[in-house]
Structure formats: C-alpha cells, structure tokens
Copies of this chain bind each other. A is one copy, B any other.
Amino acid sequence: MFLNLNAGDKKQKIMMAAARVFAQKGFHKSKIEEIAQEADVGKGTVYEYFTSKLDLFSKMLEAGIWLYRDTLAREMKPQLTIGAKFTRFVYIHLQFVQCHQDIAGVIRQEFLHVSPQVQQTIMEAHREIIKMLAGTFREGIETGSFRQIDCELAAGMFFGAVHAVGAPTGKTAGDLEPIASQVVDVFLKGIEKK
C-alpha cells in the first residue's frame, strides 16, 4: 500500500483510543486489550509504539496537557485587556473540557496514584497555570485595576472555581460565553452588594 497514512498515524490512533478508554474506566480498570480493540489494532501493536501501559498513559496524558497548553498559548493574546484575559481563559478552559472530555476526565481524576512521574507532570502543568494567572493578577494590581490581594491565593481560588464549573457536575450545559462572563463577573466584582 503506497498511499499509507503517515507514520505517526497509528500511534495517534492508539493514544486517542487510550484517552477514551482511560477516561471511561480509569487507569487500573482499563485493559490493554480493550484499548487495542478500540484503536482497531492488535494487542501486540500497542507495544510497538509504547513500552508499557504506564508509558501509553503518560504519553497520552502529556499530549493532552500539551494540547491544553497549546490551545491556551494560541488563544491568550497578550494584547487583550486583563478582564478579557480572564474571560478568555475561562472560555478556553470550559471549551477544552467540553471538546476533550476524555482527556479532561483523565487529567482531572487519575494523577495521584498512577505513578510519581505522572503526578509530577500534572502538578507542573498546574503550577504553570497558577503562575500565569497569578502574574495576570499581579499585572492588574500594578496597573491599579485590582486591589491588593494575595495573588497566589487568588490564582488558586480562581482556577479551582473554574475547574469546578467545568466539572461534569457543574454548569456546562448551555453556551459557554455567558457562563465564562458570569464566572469572571463574580470573581472580579465579588458577590456583595456595593
């Protein structure tokens, strides 16, 4: 077959199948055989591209995180106003979670107890986001838009809040734009009547 799919194609296919299965069943209940079936390849083929189940999981997860970061980096133009940045962040996060439910589910749930490596990877990504958000908060304080608050704490709270909204039990049914606006509105203005 000369018009074969490009080289990384089967690897991709396996990783996507893995994301689906891992998201649905978790790392320990997912069977390599099932992932292989889902990817429509033989069980042995998985081991042609990944050294182990853990390796497949890690690679899949890293790809997911990379995609998240990439999406964020692409969409968070520096020229946006601070308020717009937050709204944009929430929108992108919610949209990512909605589009990539599989990967999002895996990132959300399965990181503490799979392997220290994996835990490391996710916590690093988490720290990076917090850092970015804290930086934006700091920027707001410096430009006089925000009042004096603990930026790290606020960043943690903000990400936690957004994360909770994006969770399956949260409000992610309708359009994401208004929800993103609301979230940012609540966070920036607080809920007390002035």
Which A residues are closer than 8 A to B by beta carbons?
25-29, 105, 109-110, 112-114, 123, 126-127, 137, 140, 144-147, 149-150, 152-154, 156-165, 167, 169-171, 179, 182-183, 185-194
Known A153-B171, A158-B161, A160-B164; judge A146-B113 contact (CB<8 A): no
| CA distance in complex: A126, B150 (Å) | 28
A167: chain B residues at CB < 8 Å are: 160
A188: chain B residues at CB < 8 Å are: 190-192
Known A28-B28, A113-B28; judge A147-B187 contact (CB<8 A): no
A158: chain B residues at CB < 8 Å are: 161
Taking A127-B169, A149-B185 as known contacts, 7 extra A-B pairs with beta carbons closer than 8 A to each other, sorted by chain A number, are A27-B113, A110-B113, A147-B191, A147-B194, A150-B171, A153-B186, A187-B190
A110: chain B residues at CB < 8 Å are: 113
| CA distance in complex: A77, B8 (Å) | 60
Decide: A153 and B140 in contact? CB cutoff 8 A: no
| CA distance in complex: A191, B27 (Å) | 39
Q: Which of A113, A152, A163, A193 has the most CB of B within 10 A?
A: A113
Decide: B25 and A113 in contact? CB cutoff 8 A: yes
| CA distance in complex: A182, B154 (Å) | 9
Smallest CB gap from A152: residue in B: B171
